[in-house]
A and B are shown apart, each in its own frame.
Chain A
Amino acid sequence: MNTIKKYAWPTIIILVASLIMTLAILPLANTEFADGIRADAITEGEGGEEEPGDMPSAVRYVIGFIKEFLLMGVAGLITYTILRIVRHFSRKRKKVEITPG
């Protein structure tokens, strides 16, 4: 009972925030930007898009996970490297600030 009480308000806040965002997102479909994307999609459709039918099913199965791994991995690796550099320099700066003279 206490857990429900503790999390009731945060849950309501999260759901209301999501609902507000949803209502803000939906009108995007009525913009000129949306019309442009629709026109592009129709043009691409007329051009005859290549079907991935020739691809072996095992390759198709693995490709989804490889794409995921690459997108998350590359972004994560770059961020982690930058973070370590930033942490290294901020630690050095703190040492300089602490050291008198």
Chain B
Amino acid sequence: MSSTKKKLLVDIAIFIVFAIVSAPQSTGIAVHEWLSFIFMVPIITHLLLNWKWIMKVTTRMFKKLPGETRFNYIWDFVLFIMMVFVTVSGILVSESALPAMGIALVIDPFWVTMHDMSANLLLLMIGIHLAMHWTWIINAFKKYILRKTKTAPQAVGGQQS
């Protein structure tokens, strides 16, 4: 499987889980909390699959670099910080997952407010992140999802690169 296809599949999984996790009003607190723990796995996988790019840009950060790449790098770093913030504040206000594990925390209204605010901000930031990579998303989707669907009968037995 090509690395682009791997990235696309992981990204689709992240998007679906993120969409469910980000709507606790719809799914309920228990689903929201347990799925948030699982969500860490595809996020780390996403970072690992893009590790080469992260390292490449890190070493060239103070050299000549296209503005868009520099913006993406800084934005992704801030996004990572925000994701950690949302996760930590979420753990601190856990009403279902932690008590189920036998850890009962006194819920601080400060962390409740911080979790709500940072989660809303994270949604905006993810929107910007998606827009910055929209061309890649569309191209990869066309190449690996739409083309595969169209050519599915012929592709039987063959291996996709």
Interface residues of A (CB under 8 A from B): 7, 10-11, 14, 17-18, 21-22, 25-26, 28-29, 34, 37-38, 40-42, 60-65, 67-68, 71-80, 83, 86
Q: Is B27 an interface residue (CB 8 A)?
A: yes
Q: Is the CB of A21 within 8 A of B47?
A: no
Report if A37-B110 is in contact (Cβ < 8 Å); known contacts: A64-B23, A80-B134. yes
Interface residues of B (CB under 8 A from A): 19, 22-27, 44, 47-48, 51, 68, 80-81, 84-85, 88-89, 108-114, 120, 123-128, 130-132, 134
Total inter-chain residue pairs, C-beta < 8 Å? 99
| A residues less than 8 Å from B89 (CB atoms) | 25
Q: Is the CB of B19 within 8 A of A10?
A: no
Main secondary structure of the interface of A (DSSP, over half): helix
Main secondary structure of the interface of B (DSSP, over half): helix
| A residues less than 8 Å from B23 (CB atoms) | 64-65, 67-68
Report if A62-B109 is in contact (Cβ < 8 Å); known contacts: A10-B47, A71-B120. no
Which residue in B19, B26, B81 is a CB contact (below 8 Å) of A60?
A: B26
